[in-house]
Structures are given as structure tokens and as C-alpha cells.
């Protein structure tokens, strides 16, 4: 896989914290690699103005304008439900290729398998990096982590987009800052872009998901004392719960961090109630138990929709409800969670 230096991020009509998750995360953690964002509905503004971070990175209205910021690659900045390439984006991808940009995509639809896109990429001598392209192992999970050395921490959530990737990534950085030898284990496209390794677990054939998680975790523990595994989906979400459980049973987590957006009480569009935090804790611990006992040791709230006071109140409320440390890792840092993890070392 190539390492892009200057990304033009395509987020047409969708630049936002939740509507273009991949874009937002890369901008947050790798702003120096972002040349511009393409979103004609917000063109002329800065990313900092739209997202609240990302500073003076320009939002431009077209690929033509983007080329003036000297990008070397086009990153598909969204992960739409279902993952297909929106038809109106095809033209932009093709014209990026014609402008000699590499293309990085986490869409389910593999761009490298698209005859037109692949042919143009060959002609322009650029690379297509399909982050979701599955590499299928030769056997299923073996439970090799049962007697592991080292600690495995997994982020789990009440729903999709509850902050599992960000919490795992921030927690790893904080552990490293405190001198703990920890490694982030990416299981989705955005995490892979950040860390430069990993596997998109939800794109693997069902039978091999937990094996790949096992392999990634074994690899991380061969280098580091703590593996912080990025969780996916939610046990409550009927579309993704299988992926979530495969991750849980693949990594043999010793500890889970429960991620939740306060105020959210339903899986949107499915009419499924999200139980209170203690109920979620029980659901996750019970689902682990037959394979490997695991405990929810902390709560990570995603309070970006709340003001500072309401966020602090939500954190305090979660702590008293759960009798566990809670925080918003972006807003208040990881210290409270670190304590819980360090106790287990």
C-alpha cells in the first residue's frame, strides 16, 4: 500500500462529523496530509469553520479547484450504508485519475474491480488502494488468544458511530504518552488509514472475520504489551451485530470500553431501544462470557452534540450510574480510562 502525502478528500454534500466519518477522522489526526476537501455545498469555507477543527484547510467546489492545492491522491471521504459508489462520484474519480491522482477508497464496491476505473488508472499509471479488499486467511479462528500474554482492550458501542475508533485510537496514544507499550489494532477503513495496517473486518466472509481479528491481535501482542482493538457496529444493530460478535470472540478482550452518545435511545430506522448503560454492559459481558470472560471497565461518551456543562454532567451521571470511570476522550482526555486499564496490567 502506498502512503499518500497530500490528500484531496471527496465528501461532496456530506462534510460533517458523522456524515463523512472517514474525512473527519483523517482531518482530526492527520491535518498535515490534507490538501483540501471537495464539497461544493460548503465551498469557500475552511474545514475548521465547518467541523470545528482542521484549521485553514480549504473546502473546494470541484476537482478542478482541488488540483490547485497540489494533492497526490483522492480519498473517498465517506462510508455510506451499503458502501456503493454514488453514481455522481464516478465522474470525479475518473477525472482525478486523469489528473494523475491515486485513489484511496473504503467503499464496499472495490474500485479496482471496476473495469472503467481500472483501465483509466493503468493508463494514468496511478494506484487504486481499495482498503476494504479482503485478504482471506486459510483457516478459521483457532482461539490462540485464550492463554495470551498481554492485555487486550476492545471498544464496543451502543450503536454505529458511537466513537469506537476514536476512543481506541486516543486511548492508545494516551497509554503511549504514559509510557505504556500499547498498540492500536485497526479493524475498519479509517483506522487502517491512520495506522497503516489492519483489516476491514466487515468486508471479510463471515467465517473468517474472527480469524482475522485473532491474527491482528496476535500480531499486535507480539510487539506490544497492550492491544487496543477498534470495535465495529453494535450487538443491538441487526445489520452489523454479527461483525461485532465476531470481533468480540476473535480478540479475547480482557476489558471492554463502552462507547455511547448520550441522549441516543434508539437504533435509528430500526425501532430498537438502546437500554441504559448498565443494561448495555450486561449485554456485552453476557455475549463474551461463553467464550472468554470480559468486563466493561469504563464508559466513553461521545458528547459532541452537548455544550461543556451538559457534557460534564453526562460524564458525571454515567460514572454514578455505572460505578465505573467515564469520560469523553476528545473533550476531557483519557486519564479516567487509563486508570482502569493500568490496574489490569
Residues that bind a copy of itself (CB under 8 A): 81-84, 108, 134, 136-143, 146, 201-207, 209-211, 235-236, 238-247, 249-250, 252, 269-272, 275, 283, 286-287, 290-292
Closer residue to a copy of itself, CB minimum distance, 239 or 313: 239
Closer residue to a copy of itself, CB minimum distance, 25 or 209: 209
- Residue 294: other Cβ atoms inside 10 A: 23
- Which H or E element spans position 155? strand 151-157
Q: How far is the CB of 77 from a copy of itself (least distance, A)?
A: 19
What is the end-to-end Cα distance of the chain in Å, rounded? 34
Q: How far is the CB of 319 from a copy of itself (least distance, A)?
A: 24
| Cα angle: 126, vertex 190, 193; to 5 degrees | 45
Q: How far is the CB of 201 from a copy of itself (least distance, A)?
A: 6
Closer residue to a copy of itself, CB minimum distance, 59 or 165: 165
Closer residue to a copy of itself, CB minimum distance, 101 or 245: 245
Long-range contacts of 312-315 (CB under 8 A, 24+ apart): 314/262
Measured distance CA(232)–CA(326) in Å, rounded: 20
Order of strands, sheet of 7-10, starting from the edge strand that comes earlier in the sequence:
59-60, 34-38, 7-10, 73-76, 102-105, 128-130
Measured distance CA(11)–CA(95) in Å, rounded: 16
CB 109 within 8 A of CB 83: yes
Q: What is the CA radius of gyration of the chain?
A: 20
Q: What is the DSSP code (8-state) at residue 229?
A: E
Q: How far is the CB of 114 from a copy of itself (least distance, A)?
A: 14
CB 16 within 8 A of CB 22: no
Hey, what's the cell of 225? 504489551
Q: How far is the CB of 177 from a copy of itself (least distance, A)?
A: 33
Closer residue to a copy of itself, CB minimum distance, 290 or 323: 290
Closer residue to a copy of itself, CB minimum distance, 213 or 338: 213
Phi-psi region of 109 (alpha: psi -120 to 50; beta: other; left: phi over 0): beta
Closer residue to a copy of itself, CB minimum distance, 2 or 270: 270
Q: How far is the CB of 233 from a copy of itself (least distance, A)?
A: 8
Closer residue to a copy of itself, CB minimum distance, 189 or 303: 189
Q: Which residues contact 111 (CB under 8 A, 6 or more apart)?
A: 85, 93, 103, 105, 117, 118, 128, 130
Amino acid at each position: 500500500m502506498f502512503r499518500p502525502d497530500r490528500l484531496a478528500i471527496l465528501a461532496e454534500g456530506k462534510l460533517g462529523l458523522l456524515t463523512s466519518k472517514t474525512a473527519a477522522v483523517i482531518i482530526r489526526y492527520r491535518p498535515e496530509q490534507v490538501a483540501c476537501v471537495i464539497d461544493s455545498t460548503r465551498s469557500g469555507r475552511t474545514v475548521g469553520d465547518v467541523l470545528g477543527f482542521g484549521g485553514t484547510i480549504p473546502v473546494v467546489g470541484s476537482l478542478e479547484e482541488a488540483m490547485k492545492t497540489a494533492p497526490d491522491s483522492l480519498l473517498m471521504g465517506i462510508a455510506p450504508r451499503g458502501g456503493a459508489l454514488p453514481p455522481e462520484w464516478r465522474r470525479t474519480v475518473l477525472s482525478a485519475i486523469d489528473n494523475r491522482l491515486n485513489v484511496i477508497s473504503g467503499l464496499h464496491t472495490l474500485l479496482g474491480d471496476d473495469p472503467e476505473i481500472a483501465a483509466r488508472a493503468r493508463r494514468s499509471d496511478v494506484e487504486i488502494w481499495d482498503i476494504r479488499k479482503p485478504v482471506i486467511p486459510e483457516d478459521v479462528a483457532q482461539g490462540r488468544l485464550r492463554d495470551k500474554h498481554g492485555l487486550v482492550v476492545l471498544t464496543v458501542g451502543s450503536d454505529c458511530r458511537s466513537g469506537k475508533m476514536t476512543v481506541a485510537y486516543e486511548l492508545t496514544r494516551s497509554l503511549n504518552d504514559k509510557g505504556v507499550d500499547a498498540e492500536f489494532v485497526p479493524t475498519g477503513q479509517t483506522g487502517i488509514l491512520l495506522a497503516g495496517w489492519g483489516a476491514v473486518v466487515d468486508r471479510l466472509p463471515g467465517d473468517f472475520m474472527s480469524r482475522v481479528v485473532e491474527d491482528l491481535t496476535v500480531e499486535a501482542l507480539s510487539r506490544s504489551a497492550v492491544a487496543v482493538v477498534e470495535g465495529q457496529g453494535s450487538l443491538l444493530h441487526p445489520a452489523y451485530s454479527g461483525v461485532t460478535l465476531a470481533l468480540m470472540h476473535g480478540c479475547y478482550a480482557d476489558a471492554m470500553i463502552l462507547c455511547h452518545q448520550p441522549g441516543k435511545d434508539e437504533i435509528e430506522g430500526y425501532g430498537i431501544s438502546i437500554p441504559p448503560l448498565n443494561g448495555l454492559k450486561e449485554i456485552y459481558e453476557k455475549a463474551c462470557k461463553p467464550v472468554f470472560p470480559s468486563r466493561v471497565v469504563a464508559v466513553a461518551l461521545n458528547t459532541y452534540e452537548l455544550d461543556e456543562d451538559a457534557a460534564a454532567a453526562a460524564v458525571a451521571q454515567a460514572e454514578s450510574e455505572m460505578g465505573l470511570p467515564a469520560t469523553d476522550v476528545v473533550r476531557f482526555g483519557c486519564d479516567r480510562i487509563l486508570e482502569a486499564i493500568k490496574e489490569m496490567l
